[in-house]
Amino acid sequence: MNRALTLTAALCAALSAAASATTYPLTLTDDLGRKVTLKAEPKRIVSMLPSTSETLCALAACDKLVGVDDYSDYPAYVTKLPKMGGLYNPNVEAIVARKPDLVLVSKYGKLAEPLTQAGITVIAVNPETYDEVFSKTLLLGKIVNREAQAKALVTSMKREIAKVEILTKTAVNKPTAYFEIDPTPYSIGPNSFMGTLLTKAGARNIIPATMGDFPKVDPEFIVKQNPQLILGVDAATAGARPGWNTITALKTGKVINVPKELNTILGRPGPRLPQALRGLAKLVHPELFK
């Protein structure tokens, strides 16, 4: 009993110590599999991913940002920062000219190498799955010495998500749903970031996990699955497709084009994830949010 108490106390102490401040130099392995060492707390950061920009600002580290990518647009503060290009056309010279002590990049671009050669510390951080949104938030917290804020942010995000899930879990009718992310058509598998949100929003995804995270779908498969809800297309477009007027969702008028703002946050694995889930749940179960 005594020993258990001592252990618990020790654990608590260790935890609170860990939560207080990051100790530099900090060495970590980033999403490109590179070992990166931060010598000191970064003070001038360039973020090349919209979700990363959002997370840093949610951690009250907005003032550390000295530049962002072209697509970062939230919160309003980042829109005033110098733009450094996009994923495929980053402006390396502009980034170097900002004299950043840390550049946070996507693992898909090719920025890491030229910037590293220019002597700039680069870390690739790419949340892709639902769980990674939280683990990468904590990681970013550690990187910018905002660990306590990161933990608080994750806790509050999970609390907001739980509020939505309490409603959707009790829903009696969970509609079978097809979510179109582009009209080729591509959809989302249940294990993808958006797929997880769709399930949590109280829908039953017609795409099985075996088809992958972002499968190209044969239109006849969608007609066969006969979803009760179609998201991501407007009714006119869906109705004009051969054979689609026989789908239940079209007959009952449950074809909803996702509003642009919601679509943006649905594609952004960052701190606005609870809002994304709430917005999606409102589309799937409007009756629960009256």
Partner 1 sequence: MSSAAPPRPPRSALPLQLAGLALLLLLAVVLGTGLGSVMVPPGEVLGALWRGLSGQELVGNDVIVWQIRLPRVVMGVLVGASLGVCGGAFQGVFRNPLADPYLLGVASGGALGATAVIVGGGPRPLIPAAALLGALGAVTTTLMLAREGRRLPPTRLVLAGVVVGSVLSAISTALLLRGEDRAREVLAYTLGDLGFSGWREVGAVVPYVGLGAGALLLLARALDTLQLGELTARSLGVPVERLRLLVIGAASLATAGAVAYVGIIGFVGLLVPHVVRLAFGAGHRTLLPLSALLGGTLVVLADLLARTTPLSQVGIVTTLLGGPFFLWLLRRTRD
Q: Does residue 183 touch partner 1 according to CB under 8 A?
A: yes
**Shortest approach of partner 1 to residue 199 CB, angstroms?**
23
Residue 216 makes contact with partner 1 by CB under 8 A: yes
In the complex with partner 1, the residue whose CB is nearer, 62 or 211, is 211
Q: Which helix (H) or strand (E) holds 140?
A: helix 130-143
d(CA 289, CA 134): 26
Residue 208 binds partner 1 (CB under 8 A):
no
CB of 87 to partner 1, least distance (A): 7
Exposed (0-12), middle (13-18) or buried (19+): which is 58, by Cβ within 10 Å? buried
- The residue within the footprint of partner 1, chosen from 219, 239, 259, 286 (CB under 8 A), is 219
Q: Which member of 127, 185, 227, 270 binds partner 1 (CB under 8 A)?
A: 185
Q: Quick one: which segment of 101-109, 147-155, 216-224, 282-290 binds partner 1 (CB under 8 A)?
A: 216-224
Say if residue 185 is preceded by a cis peptide, omega within 30 of 0: yes
221 binds partner 1 (CB under 8 A): yes
Nearer of residues 169 and 216 to partner 1, judged by Cβ: 216
**247 three-state secondary structure:** coil
- Rounded to a whole number of angstroms, the minimum distance from the CB of residue 215 to partner 1 is 9
Choose which of 25, 242, 253, 290 interacts with partner 1 (CB under 8 A).
Answer: 242
Q: How far is CA 251 from CA 133, 238, 254, in A?
A: 37, 11, 8
Query: Could you give the angle at the alpha carbon of 22 between the alpha carbons of 113 and 100, nearest 5°?
Result: 35
What are the residues facing 207 on neighbouring strands?
none
Specify the residue, 68 or 150, whose C-beta has the smaller distance to partner 1: 68
What residues contact 243, with CB distance under 8 A and at least 6 apart? 219, 220, 223
Strands (E) in 209-285, as ranges, are 229-231, 255-256
Binding string, 52-91, against partner 1, x = CB under 8 A?
A: ----------------------------------xxxx--
Nearest approach, Cβ of residue 260 and partner 1 (Å) = 10
SS3 215: coil
- Binding interface with partner 1 (CB under 8 A): 86-89, 182-186, 216, 218-221, 223-224, 237, 240-243, 246
